[in-house]
Amino acid sequence: MRFAFIKTALGVAAVGGILAAATPALAQFKTVSEMPPKKELSLTPALGWNSWNTFGCDVSDSLIREMADAMVSSGMKDAGYEYVNIDDCWHGGRDEQGNIQVDPQKFPHGMKALADYVHSKGLKIGIYSDAGNKTCAGYPGSRGYEYQDALQYQAWGIDYLKYDWCNTENLNPIGAYTTMGEALAQLDRPILFSLCEWGDNQPWEWGKEIGHSWRTTGDIYNCWDCEHNHGSWSSLGVLPILDKQMKLRKYAGPGHWNDMDMMEIGNGMTEAQDRSHFTLWAVLNSPLIAGNDLRTMSKTTRDILTNREIIAVNQDKLGIQAMRMLATERLNVFAKPLENGEWAFVFLNRSHSTLDLNHDWEYYPLKDDEFGKRIDFDQEKFTWRDLWKGNKGDTLNPLKVKIPPHDVVVLRLTPKA
Ligand code: GLA
């Protein structure tokens, strides 16, 4: 059976794929309005690993199995990491019926066997596609095959789809992402939908109705404060990505998150920079998707990625992204409301020299108009715990601490009894 168009919430989207006889009939799909994204899949930001930052197109069955093994043996699984995600370049071609195939050299056992392996470790598996005809690396995209690809992912046992935005020149982003979002939402299998539109068309304004997270920027680059020019596009270091998030916090919440991109922890920045990178992604409620080689990472990298107290701040059920309450050239202060009246505070030294912090809490009452939260430190007293060093203190006394260059101090504040 050949079909040409499917009605979507936003008009008519072309879906010119050919359905194989074995493919379940389209009739199984319900009407759009009955099928919003399954928000319960991401009530807190996703935790996982992705192949792209370290391996690029060099993905294979053995690499993914080894990474799943390492996620378990390193303690990452116990710390909450769940998804093992294959990025671009896993694809073969399409068969005569248009069904997407894996590259038989890279994945000789097929995707289903690989998914079964990852599941046998108590983990989940993610895959990558693109809204255009081709992926960014030139492999077949899903345009015109959205429902067919969604069914294939379901048959393979996929749990997460990252959906890219290359080769989409004449496509309307809302329509293109809606088509795939609906295809996934109508499957029996829950598949988390991660929009990778790079923030070009303000996905924070419309992504919530379609999926579970949206990239807010172009690609990350493994540096602190740089922009790496690739000709027609550039990738961004930690601080430039951070600075692009500042007006976006009101759009995020349980089931729909601003995605600051896969992390570069363990890929060459300094320990302080990696610690700050992890902290900032965590308090801004980004999905925490590691991008390093988990098999060979140092203890330092592992300790950063598995800091459970930082992860707990990211996974706090309130789901409110941190606000930047103070921003000077050298010092940024972030505050994130947590459940039960607790708060996370981050003091970030952006500069190249040590910062002598003397923070008198009472000088900085906190007013979060977007989420209606307040702290008047004159009236309310908190104890705090430093989530990297374990020190303790309270807000009755000024916080006096030296913050090394590019490092952070992160405190969890608990109301004093
Ligand atoms: C784009 C995405 C990256 C990665 C590559 C793969 O650049 O933004 O995260 O998926 O494509 O080709």
Q: Output the CA 136–ligand 1 centroid distance in Å.
A: 6
Which has more confidence, 166 or 4?
166
pLDDT grade, residue 417 (50/70/90)? confident
Q: Output the CA 164–ligand 1 centroid distance in Å.
A: 7
pLDDT score recorded for residue 348: 98
The CATH architecture of the domain made up of 323-415 is Sandwich (2.60)
pLDDT score recorded for residue 28: 52
The per-residue pLDDT for range 367-406, each reduced to its tens digit, is: 999 999 999 999 999 999 999 999 999 999 999 999 999 9
Which residue's CA is minimally distant from atom 9 of ligand 1? Answer: 219
Which residue's CA is minimally distant from atom 11 of ligand 1? Answer: 136
Domain ranges of the chain: 12-314, 323-415
d(CA 67, CA 389): 29
pLDDT above 90: residue 33: no
Q: Output the CA 338–ligand 1 centroid distance in Å.
A: 32
CB 23 within 8 A of CB 151: yes
CB 87 within 8 A of CB 128: yes
Which two tokens mark 396?
């009755």
Which residue's CA is minimally distant from atom 1 of ligand 1? Answer: 136
Residue type, 44: T
d(CA 371, CA 162): 29
pLDDT above 50: residue 32: no
Q: Say yes or no: domain 12-314 is CATH 3.40.50.2300.
A: no
Ligand 1 atom at minimum distance from 87 CA = 10
Mutate to test the pocket of ligand 1, among 219, 222, 235 (most ligand atoms within 8 A of CB): 219
Average pLDDT over residues 101-112: 98
Which has more confidence, 197 or 365?
197
pLDDT above 90: residue 231: no
Mutate to test the pocket of ligand 1, among 52, 142, 167, 195 (most ligand atoms within 8 A of CB): 52
Residues with CB under 6 A from ligand 1: 52, 87-88, 135-137, 164, 196, 219
Of 176-180, 229-233, 284-288, where does mean pLDDT reach its minimum?
229-233
- Provide the β-strand partners of residue 334: 324, 346
Which two tokens mark 87?
């990025």
pLDDT score recorded for residue 10: 34
pLDDT above 90: residue 17: no
Angle formed at CA 280 by CA 277 and CA 284, multiple of 5 degrees: 145
pLDDT grade, residue 196 (50/70/90)? very high
Catalytic residues: 164, 219
Which residue's CA is minimally distant from atom 3 of ligand 1? Answer: 219
Which two tokens mark 373?
């939260």
d(CA 121, CA 403): 40
Separate counts of helices (H) and strands (E) for the chain = 10, 24
Q: What are 337-340's contacts with CB under 8 Å, separation 24+?
A: 337/368, 337/371, 337/373, 338/313, 338/412
pLDDT score recorded for residue 36: 86
